[in-house]
Amino acid sequence: MWRAGFLCRPKNRSEIVREAQRIFKSKSSENSTDDFGFCHAYYNVADQLIAIEFFPEAELHYNGQELFKLMATELIRLLKTKDAAATADDYAVLSKKLGISAEIDAGEIKSILVCTADYFN
């Protein structure tokens, strides 16, 4: 499984091979985000990659499963095979151990965030 791991912004942009639009997620954002359309890349203050949020346009697989085709209940079952402490509610699925979080709406996965180990701290 890929884990975000401190790639610098220029290196990350060259790896994704798609033009990025620089955005700020909110007015209080200190760091900009790279919007590649199918995903958003998040950076720390040193401009190192700390997370990527994927959207349904991305074909994202984990343990042989295409994640955006799963319902939230199926995703939490899948994550619990590697992290018994993974949690879910009506809005999100979260595995801090695996560095995976999914935004949920009416049981459907709207986005999946893959991040560094300390992202949720």
Closest CA to 107 of 57, 58, 73, 66: 73
Answer whether residue 76 is part of any domain.
yes
Answer whether residue 121 is part of any domain.
no
- Does the predicted model carry a pTM greater than 0.85? no
- Residue 93: which domain range? 61-115
In DSSP terms, 110 is beta-bridged to none
Answer whether residue 3 is part of any domain.
no
What is the rounded CA–CA span in Å between residue 15 and residue 71?
30
Residues 37 and 66 in one domain: no
In DSSP terms, 61 is beta-bridged to 66
Residues 28 and 72 in one domain: no
Residues 48 and 78 in one domain: no
Answer whether residue 1 is part of any domain.
no
In sequence order, the 6+-apart residues with CB closer than 8 A to the CB of 44 are 31, 50
- pLDDT tens for the chain, 121 residues long, are 344 444 566 665 556 656 778 888 788 877 889 898 899 999 888 888 899 999 999 988 888 889 999 999 999 999 999 999 999 999 999 999 999 999 999 999 999 999 998 888 8
Residues 36 and 78 in one domain: no
Residues 45 and 71 in one domain: no
